C-alpha cells in the first residue's frame, strides 16, 4: 500500500507539471458507441476522473488500444500511461452524436514521462526531428483497416490462378487507402516485379487513344515480394487523394518477375469518388 501511494504521488506530480506546459485535447464519447484510442505503446494504466466515464483496456495482456464510453454528466479527464512510462492526458466529454470514433494517438501527444529522462538537450531535439509522425499514423491506420471486414465493391480480376482484388478504398484526412489482396491459387510461387497504380484517360476524337499517368504511393504497408503457392496476402497502398471524371479510370497493374502472369485491373471512377 505504501509503495502504491508513493507511485501515485509521483504520477500526479509529473502529471501536474506537464499540464502547465500543454493544453489538453478533448475526446467525446457516449453510451451507445465505443470510442477507440490507439496508443504508440501498450497501455499499462488508464484512469478516468469521474464514474460517468469508463475506459476499458486489457489488464492481463497489454495492448495498444482502449475503449472509452460515457454517460451524460459533467466533463472529466482521462489519464493513460503506456508501458514505456509515457503519460497521455485528455479532457473527456459526453456527446450524444459522435463525429469521430477512432483516435490514433501520436508520440508527440505525450505530456511527459513518469520516469525522469536525462539526455543531452541537443540529442533530444535531433531525435524528435527524426520521428516521422505521419509514417507512424499510416502504420497504425493501415493495421486498423486490415482488421476490418469492409468492402467498397467487387473489383477483381484473375489469370492463371492469380487473383488480384481491391477489397476496400478508404478516404482519411488527405489520403486514399487502397486495401489490396492477391491470391495465388496456382501450383507455383508468384514473384512480384511491381504493382503500379496509374490514371488512364480516354482521348476523344476520330482517333481514340489512351493516356496513362503513374501515381506514386506515399506509403506501402506490408507489400510482399513473393506470394507462395496456395497463399493469400493483403496489403495497403496509401495515395494522395484524387478524384476522376467520367472519361478517366484507375488502373492497377500487377507484373510478375520472370513470368507472364500479369494482370491489369480497371477501377471505375465511381469507386474512387465514393470511398468508404
* Residue range 175-232, pLDDT digits in tens: 999 999 999 999 999 999 999 999 988 766 555 556 788 899 999 999 999 999 999 9
* Of 39, 43, 23, 172, residue with least CA distance to 103: 39
- Contact predicate 265/249, CB 8 Å: no
Residues 6+ apart with CB under 8 A from 134: none
Angstrom distance (rounded) from CA 95 to CA 101: 12
Instruction: Quote the cell numbers at residue 50.
Output: 469521474
Name the 3-class secondary structure at 123. Answer: helix
With vertex at residue 128, the alpha carbon angle to CA 122 and CA 133, rounded to the nearest 5 degrees, is: 170
Name the 3-class secondary structure at 23. Answer: coil
Q: Grid cell 518477375 — which residue?
A: 257
Question: What number of residues does the chain have?
Answer: 276
Cα distances (angstroms) measured from residue 145 to each of 21, 205, 223: 34, 42, 15
pTM: 0.54
Looking only at the bridges linking them, the beta strands covering 156-159 and 162-172 are antiparallel
Name the 3-class secondary structure at 163. Answer: strand
Average pLDDT over residues 138-158: 91
pLDDT digits (tens, 9 = 90+) for 47-104: 999 889 999 998 888 889 999 999 999 999 999 999 888 899 999 999 999 999 999 9
pLDDT digits (tens, 9 = 90+) for 66-78: 999 999 999 999 9
Amino acid at each position: 500500500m505504501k509503495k502504491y501511494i508513493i507511485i501515485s504521488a509521483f504520477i500526479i506530480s509529473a502529471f501536474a507539471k506537464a499540464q502547465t506546459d500543454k493544453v489538453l485535447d478533448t475526446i467525446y464519447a457516449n453510451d451507445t458507441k465505443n470510442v477507440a484510442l490507439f496508443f504508440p505503446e501498450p497501455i499499462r494504466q488508464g484512469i478516468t476522473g469521474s464514474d460517468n466515464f469508463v475506459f476499458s483496456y486489457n489488464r492481463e495482456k497489454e495492448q495498444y488500444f482502449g475503449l472509452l464510453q460515457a454517460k451524460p454528466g459533467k466533463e472529466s479527464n482521462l489519464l493513460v500511461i503506456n508501458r514505456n512510462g509515457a503519460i497521455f492526458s485528455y479532457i473527456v466529454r459526453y456527446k450524444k452524436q459522435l463525429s469521430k470514433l477512432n483516435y490514433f494517438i501520436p508520440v508527440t501527444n505525450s505530456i511527459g514521462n513518469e520516469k525522469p529522462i536525462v539526455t543531452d538537450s541537443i540529442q533530444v531535439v535531433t531525435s524528435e526531428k527524426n520521428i516521422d509522425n505521419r509514417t507512424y499514423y499510416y502504420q497504425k491506420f493501415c493495421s486498423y483497416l486490415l482488421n476490418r471486414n469492409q468492402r467498397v465493391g467487387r473489383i477483381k480480376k484473375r489469370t492463371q490462378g492469380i487473383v488480384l482484388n481491391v477489397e476496400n478504398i478508404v478516404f482519411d484526412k488527405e489520403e486514399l487507402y487502397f486495401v489490396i489482396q492477391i491470391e495465388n491459387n496456382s501450383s507455383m510461387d508468384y514473384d512480384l516485379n511491381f504493382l503500379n497504380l496509374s490514371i488512364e484517360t480516354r482521348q476523344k476524337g476520330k482517333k481514340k487513344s489512351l493516356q496513362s499517368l503513374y501515381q506514386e504511393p506515399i506509403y506501402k504497408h506490408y507489400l510482399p515480394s513473393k506470394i507462395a503457392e496456395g497463399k493469400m496476402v493483403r496489403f495497403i497502398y496509401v495515395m494522395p487523394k484524387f478524384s476522376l471524371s467520367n472519361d478517366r479510370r484507375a488502373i492497377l497493374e500487377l507484373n510478375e518477375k520472370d513470368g507472364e502472369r500479369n494482370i491489369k485491373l480497371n477501377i471505375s471512377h465511381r469507386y474512387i469518388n465514393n470511398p468508404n
